[in-house]
Amino acid sequence: MVSSKQCDFSPLVCLSDFEREARNILPRNALNYYKSGADEEHTLADNVAAFRRLRLIPRVLRDVEGVSLQGHAILGQIVSSPICVAPTAMQKMAHGQGELATARACAKKGTLMALSTLTTVALETIAEEVPTLHRWLQLYIYKDLEATLDVVRRAEKNGFSVVAVTVDTPFLGKRREDERHKFTLPSHLALANFADQKNDREMYKVEGGGGKEGGGGGGRSGLSKYVDVIQNHSLTWKHIAWLRSHTSMKIVLKGIHSGEDARLAVEAGVDAIWVSNHGGRQLDTVPATIEMLPDIVRAVRSAVAKKKGGAGSSGVEVFVDGGVRTGTDVLKALALGANAVFIGRPVLWGLACGGEEGVSRVLEILNEELRLSMALSGCRTLSDVTKDLVRHQSSFSNL
C-alpha cells in the first residue's frame, strides 16, 4: 500500500524533481503503470523531446508588469489558468486519497479536472466532497451502451459539465512493462464508478492468459484483458451522434491525431477537440502532440469557417496534452493555438509526493513558470501569446 506520508517539498523546485522523488516512493506495480508507454516508447519520449525542438522568439521593451492568467475561459468556464488536469486512472495507487486529493487541489487553484472513468473514487464522492470543482468526465464508450449511459447520467446529475470521450482506444496499446510485471489493480482498491457491476472485480483482476482479440499474446496484464472484454471495438462516428442524443453536457473528443478527423469532428458537432496520443501509451511512433497541434488547429478553424459559411473565430476549442513539463512548454502550446493545456503524469508525481499539497505545488510551479515565461517573452496577458512567438529549430539551419 502507498504511504500517505508527505515528503519535504523544499528541494523540489520543478516537475522533474517531483518525478524523481515519486519514482523513489511508488511501489513497482504503480510506478511501472504510470510511467510506461507503448512498445518501444518512442512516442512517450518524443512527447517531451518535441518541445525542445521549438524555440521561443521573445519581444522586448514591452510593459510586462502584472502578468496575469486571469479571466481565461474553457468551454464557457472561467478558470484561473489554461493549465488543467488530464484524466489519469486509478490514482489511489499513488496516494490514499487518490482522485479526491487531486480534486481538492484543483478546486483550491481554480482550475478544472477531468475525472477518469477508471477512477478509484466515485464521481458522486468527488461532486459531494468538492462541490466548487470545475469537473469534467472522461468517458470510454463500452460495448454495454446502457452501462455507458448510466455513467453519463450520473455525471450529469452530479454537476459535471463536459464529457470527454476517449476515441483512440478501441484496444489497449501494448504496454510491455504492464505485461512483464502482470499489472493488476491492488486488491484493496476498486474501480469506484463500477463498484456494483460484475465487470469490475472479476474481469479486472485477471492476470495474464491468452486472448485473441486485439492481437494480444500470453502473459498480458489484467488491464489489457479487462479492456478486451468491455471496450467497444466497433466505435464509430455514429456513437458520437448517439451520445449527443442522450446528454446535454458538452462533448469533447480526446485522442484526435489528424486534421481530417478534426474536420469530421467539427461536422459531428462536438464542442472541442483534444489533441492527445494517450501519453504515448497507445500506438507507438505517432507524432508528438505538440507537433500535431498546428495542423489540427488549422483544420478546425477551416472546418468551422466552412460550416458557418465564412471566416471567423474558431467556435470549436482545441486542447492538448502530452510531454508538458515546464512553463515554456505551456507557452509554446498556447502560442500554437491550444485553448487549454492538460497535464497527466506530473499530477501523479505530485500526488505520490504529498497528496493534495503535492498536486497543488505541481500546479503552482507550472503556473509560476508560465507567468515568468510570458514576462520574458513580452506577453502580459494570454491574448498577447501568438504563433509568431514560436519557431522550429530547423528554421535556423541556414545560419
- In the structure grid, which three cell numbers stand for residue 237, read together? 462516428
- For residue 365, count other CB atoms closer than 10 A to its CB: 21
Q: What would the 3-class secondary structure string for 80-99 be? A: CCCEEECCCCCHHHCCCCHH
User: Which residues have a Cβ under 8 Å from the Cβ of 145 and sit 6 or more positions away?
Assistant: 232, 242
- In the structure grid, which three cell numbers stand for residue 1, read together? 500500500
Q: Catalytic annotation on 278? A: yes
Give dist(CA 179, CA 279) in Å, integer: 18
Compute the half-sphere exposure of residue 115: CA atoms within 13 Å on the CB side of its CA. Answer: 35
Task: Quote the DSSP letter at residue 231.
Answer: B
- Helix ranges (H only) for 110-184 are 123-129, 145-157, 176-180
Compute the half-sphere exposure of residue 14: CA atoms within 13 Å on the CB side of its CA. Answer: 9
Compute the half-sphere exposure of residue 43: CA atoms within 13 Å on the CB side of its CA. Answer: 26
Give dist(CA 249, CA 234) in Å, integer: 23
Summarize the chain as % helix, strand, coil (round to 5): 45, 15, 40
One-letter identity of residue 90: M
Active-site position among 72, 95, 257, 278: 278
Give dist(CA 37, CA 113) in Å, integer: 23
Considering only CA atoms, which of 247, 261, 231 is closest in space to residue 164? Answer: 247
The residues pairing with 395 across neighbouring beta strands, listed in sequence order, are: none
> Do 15 and 324 contact (CB within 8 A), yes or no?
no
- In the structure grid, which three cell numbers stand for residue 183, read together? 499489472
Please identify every residue annotated as catalytic. 278
